[in-house]
């Protein structure tokens, strides 16, 4: 059943991508609404797929790469849907759902779905720690996409090469607002996630692993995104420079999510 739900969510994300892309070229309100409904449908289907997996692991499915990546995709979808409804803006949906489709396709079709043995239970605090951190990564990924679109839009405005889609893209101000909202979500989730992790570790061992590379990089992520929020309202950085900073910050997130998790840390390995 989990497989079917995973495929269903992939199909719904793909359909929502088609509708979002459609409205960039031929805007129709009902197609836009339909795109949102399809995305919401994909999120619901993926939620039940995750739920089924969590019944087996007796926790949030974070312990293997497949579970962690699925959770990331789901939280990316949830965060985008929240921002879309909050900012009343669908024109970046095509780009976000494209990432979502590619990511979900990768994990659904390539990554092995079954772990050999159920992971050990680590309690609610740990589950919250991982979920909140994954949510932060998803929100930062979204801010990366929005910042890249901002930079493209800014380039088009300055180069005067206006394509059809240019007139449908959100304004620079809207993209900036959405990227900032996304970073606020990410920073909030990451801060809470780090605190949960520290409490959990202290309860377990009575100490904190400040020297662990994952902890160091995570604290660096908090600092660079906080700097982005501060600088994006300053005279010299406001606008395109802040978007470059936001997009660059995501490289550190990627580094943390992949290289640090797989090779450097002792506590945060998924394989």
Annotate each residue in 214-233 with x if it binds other proteins (CB under 8 A) or - if it does not, as one string: -------------------x
- The correct pick among 2, 32, 42, 170 for binding other proteins (CB under 8 A) is 170
Contact between 173 and other proteins per CB under 8 A: yes
Binding segment (CB under 8 A) for other proteins, from list 109-117, 163-171, 186-194, 217-225: 163-171
Binding segment (CB under 8 A) for other proteins, from list 12-20, 37-45, 55-63, 150-158: 150-158
Buried b (16+ CB within 10 A) or exposed e, 8-31: bbbbbbbbbbebbbbbbeeeeeee
Contact between 238 and other proteins per CB under 8 A: yes
Please tell me the count of residues contacting other proteins according to CB under 8 A: 27
Nearer to other proteins (CB atom), residue 72 or residue 95:
95
Identify the CA nearest to 252 among candidates 230, 219, 229. 219
For the chain, how are helix, strand and coil distributed in percent, rounded to 5? 80, 0, 20
Tokens 């909050």 belong to: 86
Asked whether 63 and 57 are in contact (CB, 8 A), the reply is yes
Contact between 246 and other proteins per CB under 8 A: no
Instruction: Specify the 3-state DSSP secondary structure of 130.
Output: helix
Which residues, 6+ apart, have CB-to-CB distance to 90 below 8 Å? Answer: 20, 23, 32, 35, 36, 84
Binding segment (CB under 8 A) for other proteins, from list 40-48, 102-110, 155-163, 194-202: 155-163
Contact between 160 and other proteins per CB under 8 A: yes
Contact between 85 and other proteins per CB under 8 A: no
- The correct pick among 158, 205, 210, 211 for binding other proteins (CB under 8 A) is 158
Contact between 239 and other proteins per CB under 8 A: yes
**Distance of closest approach, residue 238 Cβ to other proteins, in angstroms:** 4
Identify the CA nearest to 167 among candidates 27, 1, 18, 53. 27
């Amino acid at each position: 059943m989990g497989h079917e739900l995973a495929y269903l969510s992939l199909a719904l994300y793909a359909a929502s991508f088609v509708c979002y892309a459609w409205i960039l070229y031929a805007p129709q309100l009902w197609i836009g609404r339909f795109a949102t409904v399809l995305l919401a449908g994909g999120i619901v289907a993926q939620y039940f797929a995750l739920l089924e997996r969590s019944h087996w692991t007796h926790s949030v499915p974070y312990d293997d790469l497949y579970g962690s990546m699925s959770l990331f995709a789901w939280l990316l979808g949830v965060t985008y849907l929240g921002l879309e409804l909050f900012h009343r803006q669908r024109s970046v949906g095509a780009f976000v759902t494209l990432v979502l489709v590619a990511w979900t396709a990768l994990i659904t079709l390539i990554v092995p779905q079954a772990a050999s043995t159920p992971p050990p239970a680590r309690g609610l605090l740990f589950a919250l720690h991982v979920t909140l951190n994954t949510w932060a990564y998803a929100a930062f990924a979204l801010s990366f996409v929005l910042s890249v679109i901002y930079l493209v839009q800014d380039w088009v405005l300055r180069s005067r090469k206006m394509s059809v889609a240019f007139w449908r893209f959100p304004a620079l101000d809207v993209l900036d607002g959405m990227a900032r909202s996304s970073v606020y979500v990410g920073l909030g989730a990451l801060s809470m996630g780090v605190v949960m992790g520290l409490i959990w570790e202290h309860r377990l061992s009575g100490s904190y692993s400040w020297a662990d590379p994952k902890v160091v990089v995570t604290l660096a992520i908090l600092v660079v995104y906080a700097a982005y929020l501060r600088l994006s309202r300053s005279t010299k950085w406001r606008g395109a420079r802040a978007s470059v900073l936001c997009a660059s910050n995501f490289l550190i997130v990627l580094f943390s999510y992949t290289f640090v998790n797989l090779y450097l840390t002792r506590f945060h390995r998924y394989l």
